[in-house]
Amino acid sequence: MGETAKSRYAETYAQWRADPIAFWGAAAKAIDWTTPATAVFDAEAGVYGRWFPGATCNTCYNAVDRHVAAGRGDQAALIFDSPVTGAKRTLTYAELQHEVSVLGAVLQDLGVAKGDRVLVYMPMVPEAIIGMLACARIGAIHSVVFGGFAAKELATRIEDAEPKVVLAASCGIEPNRVVPYKPLLDLAISMSAVKPEKCLLLQRPEGVGNLTEGRDLDWNEACNDARHAGKAAPCVDVAATDPLYILYTSGTTGKPKGVVRDNGGHMVALSWTMENLYGIKPGEVFWAASDIGWVVGHSYIVYAPLLAGCTTLVYEGKPVGTPDPGAFWRVIEEHKVVALFTAPTALRAIKKEDPDCTFKQGRDMSHFRTLFLAGERADPDTVQWAEDQLGVPVVDHWWQTETGWAIAANPVGLGLLPVKLGSPTVPMPGFDVQVVDEAAKPVPAGTMGSIVVKLPLPPGCLPTLWQQDGRFRESYLEAYPGFYSTSDAGFLDDDGYVFVMGRTDDIINVAGHRLSTGGMEEVIASHPDVAECAVIGVKDALKGEVPCGFVVLKAGERRPHEVIEKELVGLVRDRIGPVAAFKLAVTVNRLPKTRSGKILRGTMKKIADHDEWAMPATIDDPTVLDEIEGVLKTRGMG
């Protein structure tokens, strides 16, 4: 795909390794600071050290105001495209600055001050991004909870973050239904021991919510009143080490884990990635087809593109069904998108419905340069399919809520490295990635182990968990002293490419052999009739665990399921060997997923193992689990 000779990756990574302080000090010059840092890094501060201590800054100023000051106020900052409502809207940087400063003034009038928390519970609408930026502007800490998230989960987050104000919308809109948010919010507040003082409700005509007397305000009315009174909040200086936001990691039981992101390091890291990793220039249109409820939405819908002076695309829709599998190609053509960042599951959905990409025909996508994938393992088959259909580099990269940006990637801006299917390529500057065994000893190249990152973590990563330093140490730093544990398993090859084979929990132990379910999924996904699949380890009296593969077949597949299932068993046996003990492939209509498209393997495993399980809060459609249970029962499991 690319030439190593042309890539500046090796020298850039070597520069960082030789002098991390000089490297990040230089990267920090891209940011406008109110007061410069007294040091680039203080190893004595925080849990493992803090970046840019002594500096003061404002993230909203850097994302919005400085572009207006530089004369780029008329450039589009944000394009909103909502196929579910038919709405489209463009906000320039000057208009965004106005909207954000008005909402900031409303929040200040509601008593929100520097360091206070504001919870955001909204769908993919421009006001959600305006809300996040307004918090950043006045020094408040935002915590976005996925719109439509279950009341019980929302209540635990309200209790943990203790927000003074909640920013919410009356409803969210799915392709086939309207999801009322207001009743969920009211229920969550009634369940929570902590009560927010005020709620600002954005009324959407598709589903209007009831305002609670004395607590709720109409968003548009409040903003209009502030506008008419000439109110506009200026940017408030905060310390670089002050929190910008708290983002709760999904699927946690008990007390939620609030990942903290600071202001200074976050801006430096994200700003560095737009040019060097994504290869995007100011003024270009960048589209992360995620949701602001996830870290990808925080980093690459809201902050990074705006810090870099790009135009960011806010899309309220799905890859298929709004209205068809050509939705992504329409958006790319219409808005002149140069790069799209999405999850492999979105591509698999398109591939299942439209394997030959007939919906792309006749679309002018000549300006489209790169497709980026992250969020879960990108199977080689899907990557290859996308590359064949789109004719552009398909770049897989790997990162986590905790890191806030890519641990490993193929840096387009520094020049592409040769692609190795199944690998997100190489570690980014700042990440000293190592693979170790149980005793924290490095293992040879090509050997599977736990993937860890040598401390300190680079700028942009979590300094700690919200008000839980002890839990941060215990969850991430104690298992491998001196390292951050990613909880992912995999290996490094001889060229230093990273291969992430699954969560450490997805490595199954079959009669003493440690096998990766990701490796088996790769084989199954290569079968021409398979649209997507998930492999889990199921308890077995003899071998400890045996793999079970769940497969969704391509639309219109007519051959008997049992014939295909038999072929899949043979395929895994051929490519991985009898040691995999792979004897069970089960055809299902669909796989249970979170709303960001991650497959809920853990829940499927519990059902198959007859363990107690609870409905995951992040599940997209709960009825899928009934289907899985039904299919397993017919096979004498679950």
Residues 300-318 have pLDDT tens digits of 999 999 999 999 999 999 9
Beta-bridged to residue 341, according to DSSP, are 288, 372
pLDDT of residue 417: 97
The rounded percent of the chain whose pLDDT value lies above 90 is: 76
Tell me 139's DSSP state.
T
- What mean pLDDT do residues 17-29 have? 98
Helices (H), 200-252: 219-228
- What mean pLDDT do residues 351-364 have? 95
Check if the beta carbon of residue 242 is closer than 8 Å to that of residue 263: yes
Closest CA to 503 of 362, 578, 605, 350: 605
Beta-bridged to residue 395, according to DSSP, are 372
pLDDT at residue 23 tops 60: yes
pLDDT at residue 3 tops 60: no
Q: pLDDT for 62-109, tens place per residue?
A: 999 999 999 999 999 999 999 999 999 999 999 999 999 999 999 999
Tell me which of 78 and 255 has the higher pLDDT.
78
Sole residue written with tokens 């829709």: 317
- What mean pLDDT do residues 346-368 have? 95
Q: pLDDT for 449-466, tens place per residue?
A: 999 999 999 999 999 999
pLDDT of residue 252: 42
- Core vs surface per residue 225-245: b (16+ CB within 10 A) or e: ebbeeebbbebbbbbbbbbbb
Tell me which of 392 and 603 has the higher pLDDT.
392
- What mean pLDDT do residues 515-532 have? 87
Q: What is the CA radius of gyration of the chain?
A: 24
Distance CA 82, CA 476 (A): 39
pLDDT at residue 480 tops 70: yes
Q: pLDDT for 537-570, tens place per residue?
A: 898 877 778 899 999 998 887 789 999 999 999 9
Which amino acid, one-letter code, is at 340?
L
pLDDT at residue 290 tops 80: yes
Distance CA 140, CA 105 (A): 12
Tokens of residue 54, six digits: 């002594």
pLDDT-derived band at 618 (thresholds 50, 70, 90) equals: confident
- What mean pLDDT do residues 22-40 have? 98
The rounded percent of the chain whose pLDDT value lies above 70 is: 97
Tokens of residue 25, six digits: 């000090």
pLDDT at residue 193 tops 80: yes
Distance CA 353, CA 318 (A): 13
Tell me 541's DSSP state.
T
pLDDT-derived band at 518 (thresholds 50, 70, 90) equals: confident
Cβ atoms within 10 Å of 258's Cβ, excluding its own:
26
pLDDT at residue 432 tops 80: yes
pLDDT at residue 616 tops 90: no
pTM of the model: 0.86
- Core vs surface per residue 51-61: b (16+ CB within 10 A) or e: bbbebbbbbbb
pLDDT at residue 604 tops 80: yes
pLDDT-derived band at 254 (thresholds 50, 70, 90) equals: low
- What mean pLDDT do residues 37-58 have? 98
Helices (H), 240-324: 264-276, 295-297, 304-307
pLDDT at residue 434 tops 90: yes
How many Cα atoms within 13 Å fall on the side-chain side of residue 634?
Answer: 8
Q: pLDDT for 141-190, tens place per residue?
A: 999 998 888 888 899 999 999 999 999 999 999 888 999 999 999 999 99
Q: pLDDT for 129-141, tens place per residue?
A: 999 999 999 999 9
Cα 449–464–613 angle (5° rounding)?
A: 60
Q: pLDDT for 103-126, tens place per residue?
A: 999 999 999 999 999 999 999 999
pLDDT of residue 74: 98
Distance CA 155, CA 170 (A): 17
Nearest 10 degrees: CA dihedral of 413, 418, 422, 425?
-50
pLDDT of residue 513: 67
pLDDT at residue 196 tops 50: yes
pLDDT of residue 219: 98
Lowest-confidence range among 44-48, 123-127, 509-513?
Answer: 509-513
Helices (H), 232-362: 264-276, 295-297, 304-307, 327-335, 344-353
Tell me which of 494 and 617 has the higher pLDDT.
494
Closest CA to 300 of 394, 404, 147: 404
Tokens of residue 12, six digits: 């850039």
